[in-house]
Amino acid sequence: MAGVSEDDTFGVHIITRKFQRVVELRGIDGLRMEINQDLKQWHETKINVAVTGSAGAGKSTFINTILGLDEDTGKGAQTGAIETTWDIFAYTKRNRNVIFWDLPGIGTPKFPKESYVEKVKLKDYDFFILISKCRFTENDAWLAEEIQAIGKRYYFVRSYVDQDICNDRRAHPNSHDPEKHLEIIRKDCEINMEGHTHDKIYLIDSLGCEKYDFDSLVAALTRDIEGMKADVLVASLSSVTKGILEMKWRSLFRQIQTVAFQAGMMCTAESAEKIIRDVLKQESKYYCEVFDIDDDTLRADQELFSVSDLAAD
């Protein structure tokens, strides 16, 4: 953006001005309390994301992808060609306070439409991702209205787009146009859900998330929840796309400033070296987790060897 520095883009000046204002109003002790509270919120903020849709829509695959979970280890959501979600399951990875809930589709024997809102405890979630593999249904529209009625946000996601593109290529080998077919899918979804969505409909393929609208979906989620929750959510996601990686380092850049302020206020002439080294160790471990960097990766990249040393303790 013209005329805007990187510091402004990352919110560094905003944070600095905020801390200056705290000092003016509450003094150094007030600043210390403010910084400690900010960092406490970073680690304790809770986010509950509900993922729902009809059988075979790709709910479990989406959760495994966005959190970086592996079904084969027993820690990921179970996927399959038949309905595998007969109950409500919670999934999390590095941050136990950020939970993705795999909800059964509406109309299963255990979760009929008449009691669905009560049984899934709709009010407990921060926002909802409604996934469909083909066309959105009357049940999808009904659920969107129920979510809207309690003041929560929802996002319509059309999954398995790669499969649709491949099918069209096989059916029309001489006239196949991927971009044109994407627009056909998008238009069909928009017409199908006209009057029921506050946002665009996101076309994704959880097994090929660098394509289509995966990054746009994540950007929308973080834009809508804003503030600390947005930073916490981004840090908890798997580093599956370049867009998510960029969101992560922008988010952590803001946290670094707060951590630096805290470390600086703790330091004395005698303790500075130890405190700074301890902070670097603790933060480097956390950043490695956020960016899905393991010890093997660090050892393979000699430029990061000093970070590996810090993380090894």
Q: Is the pLDDT of residue 221 over 50?
A: yes
Q: Is the pLDDT of residue 260 over 60?
A: yes
pLDDT mean over 156-174: 91
Percent of the chain past pLDDT 90, that is, above it, reads 27
For residue range 34-57, what is the model confidence (pLDDT) as tens digits?
Answer: 888 888 888 889 999 999 987 778
Distance CA 305, CA 187 (A): 50
Q: Is the pLDDT of residue 15 over 60?
A: yes
Fold classified for 47-225? Rossmann fold (3.40.50)
**Amino acid identity, position 214:** F
Residue tagged 């409604």 (tokens): 130
Query: Tokens representing 25?
Result: 């109003």
Q: Is the pLDDT of residue 82 over 70?
A: no
Backbone angles phi, psi at 229, to 5 degrees: -60, -35
How does residue 78 score in pLDDT terms, banded at 50, 70 and 90?
Answer: low
The residue among 56 and 213 whose pLDDT is bigger is 213
For residue range 237-252, what is the model confidence (pLDDT) as tens digits?
Answer: 998 899 999 999 888 8
Domain range annotation of the chain: 6-44+239-312, 47-225
DSSP one-letter string for 32-81: HHHHHHHHHHHHH--EEEEEEESTTSSHHHHHHHHHT--GGGTSSPP--S
How does residue 147 score in pLDDT terms, banded at 50, 70 and 90?
Answer: very high
Distance CA 65, CA 58 (A): 11
